[in-house]
Chain A
Amino acid sequence: MSLDKMLQKISVRSPWLFRINAGSCNGCDVELATTACIPRYDVERFGCKYCGSPRHTDVVLITGPLTTKVRDRVLRVWHEIPNPKVTVAVGVCSISGGVFRGGYSIEGPIDRYIPVDVNVPGCPPRPQAILEGIVLARSIWLKKLGLEE
């Protein structure tokens, strides 16, 4: 195995997370903060870290139904993220639009614009579900690199 492949194989053990709020009601964002902050659901044990800059990101967590106002900004931030990246849609709004589906100001669901890799349903999803989504994102990341776990 070449050095490059070896680095790629261990690289999935340090997924840095970035949150994009695409017009969410903040319910899912609170749950994401819970996932990070409450000892019981510590994400740092997977090597995760919430980072402030899209340039440092590996796994991007998108919440909310993608409103018209926020669409271009979300797309712009998403394109700032260096490859390889994994996109996780958190909450039922970002997956299908949820109760806001068909609203006059709703451009979602998100996969109309962005290729979503993992769906984490729930309104809001439980922290355990978000953790499972992040772990799933790791194996998808490996597949994107052309490697198997």
Chain B
Amino acid sequence: MSDTLLAILHMIIFPGGIFALAVGFFFKGLDRRVEARLQRRVGPPLKQPWLDTAKLLTKETLIPKTACRQAFLLAPVFGFTGMAVCAAFIPIPGVYSGLNNMGDLLVIFYLLPIPAMALMIGGSASSSPFGALGFSREMLLMLAYETPLLMILLAVAMLAGKSIAGGAAGAEFSLLKIVNWQQQTGSLGLNTAMIPALLAYLIFLPGTLGVAPFDIPEAETEIIEGPLLEYGGPLLALFNMTSALKTFVLLGLGVALFFPGVISAWWPVNLIWFVLKCLVLMLLSITVVKSATGRLRIDQAFRFYVTIPAALALCSLILVWVM
């Protein structure tokens, strides 16, 4: 019983829920600020995501007459809870060991598409033709970027499984064991066989987070924000929070998979070290790319994801196999 309670607390306060939200909003604010600086603008203050959320909470909620009411209202809640639970599965090296299950890597893989699904449900429930367009684009993009993600996770799991317990267990799907093994034998991000997988993960990030050049499902100029078109007020705030949580989860997963080193025995230092590593990942893969590129078409993005990141991830998989 107390285990269940502890797990729920992990989902609501630390590292899911409140903590993940705070860090995610910090990342989002910094992302906007750095992007502005790269374009030689002043940019918004660092606390802008908080101000936006406060503003959205005070606005009125309008629901379209023709919308499917329950699905329209519940879709953002579905996405938010999915991500809050997922955040509790991400281990923070030296601080928190994750909800310690046997195959939490697989659980994370299944929880990750939930925000995109929430967007698809909300978009199609809103009864707007732009919502439907956003739905189809989101689905196409999801099909494209899930393939490289699966191969990346598989490559990491196989490499870990090969050396933990002498390869007796086959692939290792416990994220905690992977993290602990890396802390003993060195980070995977510096392993030659894993460098293509790391690159593929960096390419995968902007697509799944829906930022330029892959912000195609929510393109504001062509399909006026697609699935988010009819959402306003607190519901939109919930979508923004989901996106912040997702940023935290994906960056945290990247750190856990590739750079889970610790620098001290004292946990606050490790926590700051973790956030710093996430920050570097974000600046490299999201902010710099976003401020330098325009938006691709959906067919270009699809073709890109099923070729380059998939090929890189496959490369890693083959290297792991032959080594």
Contact = CB atoms under 8 A, between A and B. Distances in A.
Contact of A53 (B39, B43, B60, B220): B220
Contacts of B62: 55, 80, 82
Interface stretch (A6-14, A95-103, A107-115, A126-134): A6-14
Interface in B64-81: none
A53 to B, nearest CB: 5
Contacts of A11: 51, 54-55, 57-59
Contact of A55 (B40, B54, B57, B231): B231
B36 interface: yes
A47 B58 contact: no
B61 interface: yes
Contacts of A71: none
B220 A82 contact: no
Interface in B215-269: 219-221, 224-225, 228-233, 236
Contact of B60 (A10, A12, A42, A83): A83
B43 A42 contact: yes
A4 B57 CA distance: 9
Interface residues of B, number: 32
Contacts of B58: 4, 7-8, 11
B221 A82 contact: no
A94 B42 CA distance: 30
Contacts of A146: none
A5 B21 CA distance: 23
A51 B225 contact: yes
A45 B51 CA distance: 13
14 contacts: A11-B51, A14-B54, A39-B39, A44-B44, A45-B44, A46-B44, A50-B220, A51-B220, A52-B219, A52-B225, A53-B224, A53-B232, A82-B62, A82-B232
Given A10-B51, A42-B36, A58-B59, 17 more contacts: A11-B54, A11-B59, A13-B51, A14-B48, A14-B51, A14-B55, A16-B55, A44-B36, A47-B48, A47-B52, A52-B220, A52-B221, A53-B220, A53-B224, A53-B228, A56-B225, A82-B60
